[in-house]
Structures are given as C-alpha cells and as structure tokens.
Structure 1
Amino acid sequence: MSRHTRRSFVKLSGAVLGGIATGTTVTAAASTDRFIVDTRGNADLSDVEVVHDLSAVDLAVVRGDRKAVKGTKFAPDVTATLDEPVQQEVAEPTSAVDESLYGLQWDKQDQSIPEAHEITRGEGTRVAVIDSGVLETHPDLAGPLNVDLSRNFTDDGGDHNPVASDHGTHVAGTIAADDTNGTGVTGTAPGTELVDCRVFSDEGGASFGDILAAVTYSAEIGCDAANLSLGAYPVPRQGNGKFYGKVLNRTMTYANKEGTLLVAAAGNDSADLQHDGGVISLPNEGAQGFSVAATGPIGYQWGDDGLRAPPHSPAFYTNYGTNAIDVAAPGGDADRSAIGSGVPYFNDLVLSTVFSTDADGNAVPSYGWKAGTSMAAPQVTGAAALVKSVNPGYNANKVDSVIRQTASVPDGYDKAYYGGGYLDTLAAVQD
C-alpha cells in the first residue's frame, strides 16, 4: 500500500480547497454577491446586507453588488463543498442503546483515557465544534451539548443540527461522548460542555465567512478550545490568498487572546507543508492555529498475531512538516488493499458517534468509523479541555504548551510527521 498517495483537486479563484476527511473530493466556488470586507478605515456598508458583523476583529461578511464594496479592502467569500469520506463504515450493532463499544476504541485505549478520567473528565470547560453540525438527539451527545448556545452560521434557514453530513457528529463524539450512560463510545472529555457551530449548509458547502464568524463567536462565549476539522490547501500566498490569510490570522489571534485554543486538522493531502513553497494550508497554518497530523494502526483486531503498524504510526494520507505540525494524534489509518477482502479493515479507523437517515428523512443515532486528520484534531481538542479543567487559570498559550511539551516523537519515526511529538493525553493531564 502506498503511504503517500495524493488526491487531485479542482483549482478555482486562485486557490485549491482541500478536503475535510480521507477520500473527499472537493470543489470550490467564489461568490459573486457575497464578500468579506475589512472594516478598518470606516468602510461604507450602507448599500449591502451585513450577514455577519465581526466588529470584534474589524471584519464584516456582506451580501450585495460588487460595486457596493468598491473602495474597501475585500475579497469574494469562498465556499467549499465536499463528498463523504470513502474510508468509513457503520458499526455493528448500530442501535444507540446497545452495549458499549469502548473495546473497539483503540484511540482512547492508546491515550489512556480511563486513567485520565480518574483525574478529570473535563468539568468546567467549554468546547466549540465548528463543523457540519452535531446531532442533539444522539444519546452520547445530548448531555454534553449546550443547545441554547449552539448556532447555525449558514443562511440555509435551519438550526444547528446537521442536515446531511454526520462529520461534525463524529468529531463531537471523539471530544465528549458521554461515558456515564453505559452505552456507545467514550469521549476524551465527556465532562466538557459542547457548543455546536454549524458552518456547512444543507447543500454541503462551508463558506470562509461563516467559518470566521464561528471562530469569533466561540471566543466571545468563552470557549476554552474550538475544533476546526476543515481546511483549505494549497492557498497561494499572493492575490486573494494573501487577503484570506490576513483576515484569518486576525480572527485567530483575537480568539487566542480571548483564551480559545484553535485546534485544526493538518489536512489529508500527503503534502510536505514545510517545503511546498508559495502556498499555505488554512486554518492550521494560520496565526495561533494548533496543527494536528494523523496516525493510526494497521491490523487492529483483524484476528491475526499482531499489528502491522502501531497506533502512533503516521497515516498514509496525513500532511506533515516538522515546523508545520504541532503534534500528531490518532486519526485512523487504512490498508486500502484490504477493503473488500473480508478482514475488518475499518477497525483501524476511529470509531465515534454518527447517524443514518430513515425512510422519512429522520436522523437515526448510531456509531461508525472514519479516518482523517479531521478525526485526529478532536483528540487534541479533548485533551485541551482536560488540561484546562485541571488548570483553570491557564490561558490558551499555556494549554498549547503543555500539550506539546508532554508529547514526544516515537522511536524510529520521522519528526516531520509529529512536530512536537505524538499526543500523550494522560501525561498532559498529569503535568
């Protein structure tokens, strides 16, 4: 199996927008009537509709005629659409009231989460999930989720709940799935309070402006961490890419100063982010972003004599780069040659909360596997909640520092895949 295969991307508007999870195919479109405006310098917005007033960071997302924003610093809002990952599987049993699935959670076992819970479960913290929505009726998420604070940042007219993809629901379960109900899966920080910030619309798109709004909101409501399992790569540093990078940096710096650690997926392009000259990966390479690469086993519970690769082994798809990655964390791996062979290849992916849709269009809570740096980032977000819970006086930079300083590069592996090292949740809580 090749461990460094690249996907193809569709270029548009001077940028290529990367995927949210392993195997996605992504297209991007620049809006002709929606713009991100830098409001420094008393920009006149009287002839446009303000979609998001981000005055805390001197930005606005507006809708109207392009001529109405001339004379300001602006760029078209950009929307990315995605397909679901090909490396995914629904768990059996699929009922949300069946026996515990912790035995299949190699990621939580590897991170010594039960031992960490003897110290803290994340009580007293708040975490935002900026994603495709979190299913509030899922029995493993109904407890941690703060429905009153959760928001839909798109203009599709719905609430925060997912309308299509279960990606955000999977991410949320990795962070905070309930460990007290005797069913399902266990989250890293089940004692934290989850806030759902939906930025993917019912058409499957996520606009850059909605993401900026969700980051700003997460900081304003006092989230200790915000998970961004989404990304754009490669974005040229010149032209509109320079503008997008500038406004993102401003927004992320604001969030960091307000105490919100921004944890972002590094991307699934098998790309060397440190030596890819002239382009940048966003948001993980933005100012104050905590960039997470992915690892995973090969052969977990396949029924043979042992693993072909351990849980800390770099996943075939992960982006890398010594100075571009902060840490690596369990995101799942896959031997794609094993798919269809009868072996449970999906056990090497990350198991978490998902849902299916019945004949009437209703979401039915269940559990399933996915792989990607999208699945690695929430491992770190959950760990950040635990660290903050134990050390309530820590700011975002201190939580960041503890996670990196307690991580280490596994013997025999290339530092480029780990940055500061492989996540050690228990050590971070004990620090």
Structure 2
Amino acid sequence: MRAALAGSGTGARHAGPDVPQIGLVTVRPRRGEDAAHAARRLAAQPGVESAQPELRMRLRELADDPALTLPDPFAGTPASPLPAQTPLAWPLLREGFPSAWDVTRGERALVGVIDTGVDATHPELSPKVDALVDQQWTLSQGPAGVDADGHGTHVASIACAVTGNGAGIAGAGHDCRLVVEKTDLSDASIAAALVDATDRGVHAINMSFGDDGSRPASVAIKRALQYAAERDVVLVAAAADEPVREQGDPSNVLQPSGTGPDIGAGIGLSVTAAAYDGERAPFAGYGSQISLAAYGTTGAPGSRPRGIVGAFPANPTRYEQDAAHPCDCRTSIDGDPRYGYLAGTSMAAPQVAATAAMVRALNPDMSGRAVVTLLKRTARRGPGGGWNRDLGWGILDAERALASARTTDLRAPLSHVSANPVAGAIELRWSASDEAPDGVVASGLASVGLVAVRLRDRHVELSVRLRPRTRTVVFRGEPGERYGFVTRALDRAGNREPRPRRFDAVLRMPRATAPLSRNGDSAQPRR
C-alpha cells in the first residue's frame, strides 16, 4: 500500500509513520497541491478506503493561575453545598472558558476598554497593554496608565489579565491584548475613545458605564457607536446596576427598547449580571433592552458586595476611600494584595467583550453583527429556552461560542480553469481549493460551475456543474471561433466564489487537423 500511494502515479511522498495494523499510511501532497484536494484524489485510488488531511492537536491544560483553583470563601449559595470548594474564578469555569481556550488562546484578539484607565504597572496588565490613550477633556485623573479609581483596572483584568503564568487571576480572553482608553465619561471623551479604539483595530470594545436614560442619547456617541459597528467592532455595554427596564446610554443604543427578543436586532450587546445561582442579580437591569448575561456577583446571602475577583491598583481605590461606605473588597492572592472583589454589570460585560474578541480573531470572516448573533444564540438558556426579560438570551457560554465559530465556514472557495488545444477540441483543466482561516474548519468543496462563452456574440455554449473529482473535460465548439472559459466554485457551507470579472482562459477552437498539444506523457483527456 505504501509503495502504491507513494509511487510516481500519485505524486505522493512518504511523510510520516505507517501503522500496518490499522492500515495507516502517511504521505505528503504533490507540490503546490492543498491537503484537502490531495485527500480527495487519494481517496479515489484503488485500495484506499479513506484519506483525510492530517491535523495537529493541542495539549489540554488548565491555566495554572491560582484563582482557578483557590477556594473563594464568599461564593456560597444555596445552590452550592460545598461553598469552600468554589474557586475564586468560578465565573470563568461556569461559562466554559477552559474549553474555549482549547479552541483558541486569543493570541490575535484585541479588546478596547473605555474606562478609568489602568494601573499599567500591575503584573496582570503590564504585559498586555498595546496602547494607553488619555481621552480626558473636562477633568484629569492622571495619565491612562494610572487608575486612581480602580474600576478600569478591575474591568480590564477580567477581560485580559495575564493567564497561565502561575500567579493571580486568569483573564477571560487568555492571551488577548488591550487598548486602554481613559475617559472622563463626557460625551465627547467617550465618542473620541470609541473612534480611536476602532481605528487601532480592536475586535471588541467594552463599556462598563452608562446613564439613566432620562435624556436622549448623545448624537456624538450614537455616531461613534455606528462608526465602530460599521467596521465590524463588537460593541459591549454594561446594563444598569439597578433593577430597571431602562438601561440608559450606551446600552439602549446597542439594544434599543423592544428589540431584545429579536436575536438579530441591535448593533451590539447590552449585558446584565447573573448571580452564582444562575438567576439575574437582584441589583441588575432587566427587560427588552437586555441582550444576554454574564456572572457579575455571587449573590450569596451575607456575602455583602462580594462579587467577581479582579486586579486592583496598588494605590487605594475609590471604593476603599468612600467615607460613608468604605468597601471591604481588597483581597490577596498568594500574598499579593493587588486584587479585589467588585460586583456589578461592569464585571459581567468584559467577559462578553473578551469572548467576542476571541471569536472575531479566530474567525475574521465573521462580521461584528454575526458575532453579536452568535453570542446570543450560544448563550446558556434557562427553563423554557429562548429570550427572557431577566437574562436576555441567556448566560454567556464561551465554550459553545468558540466551538461554533470554529466550525462556521464563511470563506468562499477559489477556482481556476486553463485551456489547451487538442485535435478539434479544447481540453479544460480546472483546479479549486476551499480554505478557511487558521483554526477554522473548512467545509470542503461541493461543486464547480464551468462556463464556456463564444466571444463573437457572448453566447453561452456550455454551462455545467462539475463534481470535485472531475478535473478535466473536453469542449468542442465551432472551429475557428474564440471562446472564453471561467469556473465558479461552491463549498458545502453554501459559500459561492464571487462572480469573476474576466475569463480565466481565452482560446480559439482548433481545426480537426490541428496538432495535439501534449500534456505530460499523455495527449488524452483524463477524468
């Protein structure tokens, strides 16, 4: 079998182990031939039961950040009989991030965070920041790499903290990187941040802020949101931190009132907060402006405002300096005190933004609008399924979202036909390939449409649908006439090659007495 496959007739070369006990032979494709085409060609050889491109797997490993295993003493709820065994990073585990990281580590994902800046010296963030941009106009709280408030550092770390380094917490987006836009929360500042982050190539933008919806949405912000959406940025905004139906701007721009139940409506995602028990957090917004949910608090009786663990700046935060209600929210992980608990929709949104960025980076053929729909469709539903007023389309499921993105082939195949004269005919040879972005599974070629046009009057002489295994056909037209030939491929996912602007080949039909044009060792057409 090995000799037959690796012989000159197939053009295949031995390239790996043979396992005769199970009939395995490993070969390389011909030079210039893609693996999918080689597999189809070899499968047609006598004595070959099946052939398929070889893939390379990835080691399954859970990131070793302590927060993924250290117990969270505050995460007890009636749904957890062993609260001491609940890890600090329980939201990531519940939302399927470890399995999502088996699909992609988010190496190319870029997340924009419009917030109070970050502590750029924090070990969870300093290696992850691509840009620090100060968009403050009406007041200044220091440069973008300084976070006197603490909110921005916490939010950015939930999205993209350093993961797999054996220290601290894990970011939802694993290896994703950050564009930090520090805002004073004025309309102009937010609009400038949206446009700047978009121009820097972010895949998703997180906005863990909003107003009460009592005023019309800012025209500047609406235009900036539209600017980003038109460039396929996935926009994510935190819903209200009050149990109200009006989520305010920008959430109500991304998912306008009444549109939540329509899975295809809106230009982004309005994210509410779920509690540990899988229900909407008591403080979180609800209603028809809600797209979906992510975990934003434990919601445990007696847990105070204990919420989601994230990075804290080294400096005292606003929460700790509140004279009326100072929070007991700072914590240590392995002796490092630069971490803290915060609860809110602000903590839910960056988990969604990081997932959206990973999806966009994995499958760049997906539009921003398609990613918005995907995250809704793959969210974990409650009883009854579908949309509901408390959790929208459900709680974020990163595992399902990335698995779906990996198998969503949106790239059209490519084909080409060449023409060679033979006695009284034209031999047409075509080639085609169906490729997908790295990490995405290509659906495979379904068929190729071949068209022959008589150029004198643009009359279609031949229009035929060819199976992938038929690579050569003979065309006989009127002697002396010039013909144009073109192919157009279709894959199994329904993606059709764009209509070509010009012919692949143009040739005059030879007379019957014309000499044969030999191809290799044979002048005979092969099918």
Under a length normalisation based on structure 2, what TM-score does the superposition of the two structures give?
Answer: 0.52
SS of the residue corresponding to residue 334 of structure 1 reads coil
Aligned with 1:118 (options 80, 102, 106):
102
Letter in 1 for 2:250: P
Q: Which residue pairs with 1:282 in the alignment?
A: 249
Q: How far has the Cα of 1:245 moved from its partner?
A: 3.6
Q: Percent identity?
A: 31
Residues 268/134 of structure 1: CA separation in 2 closer, same or farther (3 Å cut) = same
Deviations 1:72-123 (A, max 9, x none): xxxxxxxxxxxxxxxxxxxxxxxxxx97222311101101211111111111
**CA distance, structure 2, for counterparts of residue 164 and residue 315 of structure 1:** 27
**CA distance, structure 1, for counterparts of residue 106 and residue 384 of structure 2:** 33
Aligned partners of 2:159 and 2:353 also within 8 Å: yes
1:40-55, aligned counterparts within 5 Å? none
Deviations 1:144-203 (A, max 9, x none): 111xx2201114283212341111111111111111311000111121120110103xxx
**CA distance, structure 2, for counterparts of residue 233 and residue 289 of structure 1:** 19
**CA distance, structure 2, for counterparts of residue 163 and residue 396 of structure 1:** 30
Aligned partners of 2:147 and 2:153 also within 8 Å: no
Q: Which residue pairs with 1:150 in the alignment?
A: 132
Aligned partners of 1:220 and 1:258 also within 8 Å: no
The answer to whether structure 1 residue 292 and structure 2 residue 271 are counterparts is: yes
1:33-44, aligned counterparts within 5 Å? none
Residues 157/131 of structure 1: CA separation in 2 closer, same or farther (3 Å cut) = closer
**CA distance, structure 2, for counterparts of residue 115 and residue 214 of structure 1:** 33
Aligned partners of 1:162 and 1:198 also within 8 Å: no
Q: Which residue pairs with 2:237 in the alignment?
A: 264
1:106-255, aligned counterparts within 5 Å? 106-146=90-130, 149-155=131-137, 156=140, 158-200=142-184, 206-236=185-215, 241=216, 244-255=217-228
Deviations 1:371-395 (A, max 9, x none): 1000010010011122112212222
Letter in 1 for 2:291: D
1:344-383, aligned counterparts within 5 Å? 346=306, 349-357=307-315, 366-383=338-355
Q: Which residue pairs with 1:100 in the alignment?
A: 66
**CA distance, structure 1, for counterparts of residue 196 and residue 301 of structure 2:** 39
**CA distance, structure 1, for counterparts of residue 105 and residue 147 of structure 2:** 30
Residues 124/365 of structure 1: CA separation in 2 closer, same or farther (3 Å cut) = farther
1:10-25, aligned counterparts within 5 Å? none
The answer to whether structure 1 residue 319 and structure 2 residue 285 are counterparts is: yes
SS of the residue corresponding to residue 129 of structure 1 reads strand
Letter in 1 for 2:135: F
Aligned partners of 1:222 and 1:259 also within 8 Å: no
Cα RMSD between the aligned structures?
Answer: 2.4
SS of the residue corresponding to residue 123 of structure 1 reads coil
Q: Which residue pairs with 1:418 in the alignment?
A: 391
Aligned partners of 2:204 and 2:356 also within 8 Å: yes
Q: How far has the Cα of 1:408 moved from its partner?
A: 3.6
Q: Which residue pairs with 1:405 in the alignment?
A: 377
Letter in 2 for 1:145: V
Residues 99/180 of structure 1: CA separation in 2 closer, same or farther (3 Å cut) = closer
Q: Which residue pairs with 1:395 in the alignment?
A: 367
| Structure 1 segments unaligned to the other structure (5+ residues) | 1-97, 201-205, 274-279, 298-309, 340-344, 359-363
Letter in 2 for 1:129: V
Deviations 1:285-329 (A, max 9, x none): 1142310010011xxxxxxxxxxxx2x2110111011x3111111
How many residue pairs get aligned? The number is 291
Aligned partners of 1:218 and 1:260 also within 8 Å: no
| Structure 2 segments unaligned to the other structure (5+ residues) | 1-63, 70-87, 255-266, 317-335, 405-527
Aligned with 1:334 (options 299, 308, 317):
299
Q: Which has the larger radius of gyration?
A: 2
Aligned partners of 2:125 and 2:161 also within 8 Å: yes
Aligned partners of 1:116 and 1:425 also within 8 Å: yes
Residues 412/354 of structure 1: CA separation in 2 closer, same or farther (3 Å cut) = farther
Residues 99/328 of structure 1: CA separation in 2 closer, same or farther (3 Å cut) = closer
**CA distance, structure 1, for counterparts of residue 162 and residue 302 of structure 2:** 34
SS of the residue corresponding to residue 118 of structure 1 reads helix
**CA distance, structure 2, for counterparts of residue 330 and residue 182 of structure 1:** 24
**CA distance, structure 1, for counterparts of residue 303 and residue 397 of structure 2:** 29
Aligned partners of 1:129 and 1:195 also within 8 Å: yes
Letter in 1 for 2:107: E
Under a length normalisation based on structure 1, what TM-score does the superposition of the two structures give?
Answer: 0.63
The answer to whether structure 1 residue 384 and structure 2 residue 384 are counterparts is: no
Q: How far has the Cα of 1:261 moved from its partner?
A: 1.1
Q: Which residue pairs with 1:301 in the alignment?
A: none
**CA distance, structure 1, for counterparts of residue 283 and residue 374 of structure 2:** 27
SS of the residue corresponding to residue 329 of structure 1 reads strand
Q: How far has the Cα of 1:417 moved from its partner?
A: 1.1
Q: How far has the Cα of 1:409 moved from its partner?
A: 2.4
Deviations 1:223-267 (A, max 9, x none): 11000000001323xxxx2xx443322211111011211100011
Q: How far has the Cα of 1:270 moved from its partner?
A: 0.5
